[in-house]
């Protein structure tokens, strides 16, 4: 745990707001005591709703490492990850995560994090964005093919 | 709700497995009865742990529409979204979502979806990837700057 890295993340987030580039969030990935990637919220400048700071930093770190896993890495983020970013963290599998502001702080500033965390507790059909299942039996052929595929690369 | 679109998503997922390009998942975004973007799981071929079918399709749809929101769009996905993709859906805000296989089906095929949904129920410090808060008071300056920024673009 390094206060220096978190101060850097907070400074990047502040710069992102003041420069008008995006939301008040930044993140960085550290490996062996060195920053290997940084990311700032770039949703509105890139027209990419998934371009949250953590996702941007994780993508950049994976490019830097030439892999799709962040083994032994630490993620520093200026704010507690939203559900999308938390999911991205679990798929990238860094060793640990440090955050500064909370999801409640983000909600107070007008961001949907807490709302989405709440939605996750409801069953798919009861969510504000309705989700309905269909053709479930036909879809199982895909997983059967996956099991039979001998050259697959698990992730 | 269109069985034709879901069959297309399932076919793309099957093709993705059989061609060895990636995991058994595909998604597409429909607007006004027309497919505007498609995505397949591309994690291992692009070294991007966030390149799940839904994220790829959402990013492509936003590029096609020139915005960061999917107003009035429908998302068809061959499998119930993982927490990362569900979060991406909430940020992109399509009108509704249709899915075929369930998170349990994905788990049975070796994917972490159900595990991540379970992790979300634990407090940050009690998760398998430990998450610790630090410098919370320093981070609040970022949200204060956001509130004062007059030219911000909410998302």
CB-CB under 8 Å, A44 with B97: no
Is the separation of the CB atoms in B141 and B133 below 8 Å? Answer: no
Q: Does the structure show a pLDDT above 90 at B113?
A: no
Determine contact: A99 vs chain B, CB below 8 A.
yes
CB-based burial, B63-94: b 16+ in 10 Å, e otherwise: eebeebbbeebbbbbbbbbbbbbbbbbbbbbb
Nearest to A20 among B129, B130, B151 (CB): B151
Tens of each residue's pLDDT in chain A, 155 residues: 899 999 999 999 999 999 999 999 999 999 999 999 999 999 999 999 999 999 999 999 999 999 999 999 999 999 999 999 999 999 999 999 999 999 889 999 988 888 898 898 898 889 999 999 999 999 999 999 999 998 888 88
What pLDDT, on a 0 to 100 scale, did the predictor assign at position B28? 98
Rounded Cα distance, A30 and A3, in Å: 13
What pLDDT, on a 0 to 100 scale, did the predictor assign at position B154? 87
Q: What are the phi and psi torsion angles at A131 (to 5°)?
A: -125, 125
Show Cβ contacts of residue A139 under 8 Å, excluding neighbours closer than 6 positions.
Answer: B10, B13, B78, B79, B100, B101, B105
- Measured CA to CA in angstroms, residue A93 lies from A69, B68, B135 at distances of 6, 27, 23
- Identify which has the larger pLDDT, B113 or A137: A137
What pLDDT, on a 0 to 100 scale, did the predictor assign at position B43? 97
Rounded Cα distance, B83 and A110, in Å: 21
| Span B37-69, pLDDT tens digits | 999 999 999 999 999 999 999 999 999 999 999
Beta bridge partners of A75: A29, A97
What pLDDT, on a 0 to 100 scale, did the predictor assign at position A96? 97
Beta bridge partners of B79: B101
Show Cβ contacts of residue B146 under 8 Å, excluding neighbours closer than 6 positions.
Answer: A17, A23, A24, A109, B152
What pLDDT, on a 0 to 100 scale, did the predictor assign at position B52? 98
Q: Crossing angle for the helix pair A83-92 and A53-65, nearest 10 degrees? A: 20
What pLDDT, on a 0 to 100 scale, did the predictor assign at position A89? 98
H or E element at residue A9: helix A3-18
Q: What tokens were used for A72?
A: 């032994």
What average pLDDT is seen over chain A?
95
Nearest partner of A83 among A64, A45, A44, A111, judged by Cα: A111
What pLDDT, on a 0 to 100 scale, did the predictor assign at position A98? 98
Mean local confidence (pLDDT), B60-88 = 97
Q: Does the structure show a pLDDT above 90 at B76?
A: yes
Nearest partner of A90 among B107, B57, B128, B46, judged by Cα: B128
CB-CB under 8 Å, A48 with B100: no
What pLDDT, on a 0 to 100 scale, did the predictor assign at position B50? 98
Model-level pTM?
0.96
Determine contact: A15 vs chain B, CB below 8 A.
no
Determine contact: A123 vs chain B, CB below 8 A.
no
Q: What is the DSSP letter of B94?
A: -
**Would you name the residues of A annotated as active-site residues?**
54
B138 carries an active-site annotation: no
| Span B85-97, pLDDT tens digits | 999 999 999 999 9
What pLDDT, on a 0 to 100 scale, did the predictor assign at position A35? 98
Is the separation of the CB atoms in B149 and A18 below 8 Å? Answer: yes
Rounded Cα distance, A51 and A55, in Å: 6
- DSSP-assigned letters across all residues of B42-85: -HHHHT-TT--HHHHHHHHHHHHHTSS--TT-EEEEEEPPPHHH
| Span B124-155, pLDDT tens digits | 889 999 999 999 999 999 999 999 998 888 88
């Amino acid at each position: 745990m390094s206060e220096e890295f978190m101060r850097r993340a907070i400074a990047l987030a502040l710069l992102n707001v003041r420069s008008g580039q995006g939301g008040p969030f930044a993140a960085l990935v550290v490996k062996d005591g060195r920053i290997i990637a940084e990311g700032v919220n770039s949703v509105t400048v890139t027209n990419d709703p998934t371009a949250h700071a953590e996702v941007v930093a994780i993508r950049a770190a994976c490019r830097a490492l030439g892999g799709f896993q962040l083994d032994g890495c630490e993620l520093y983020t200026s704010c507690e990850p939203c559900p999308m970013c938390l999911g991205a963290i679990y798929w990238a599998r860094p060793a640990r995560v440090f955050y500064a502001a909370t999801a409640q702080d983000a909600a107070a500033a007008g961001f949907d994090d807490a709302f989405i965390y709440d939605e996750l507790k409801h069953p798919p059909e009861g969510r504000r964005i309705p989700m309905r299942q269909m053709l479930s039996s036909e879809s199982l052929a895909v997983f059967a093919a996956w099991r039979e595929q001998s050259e697959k690369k698990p992730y």
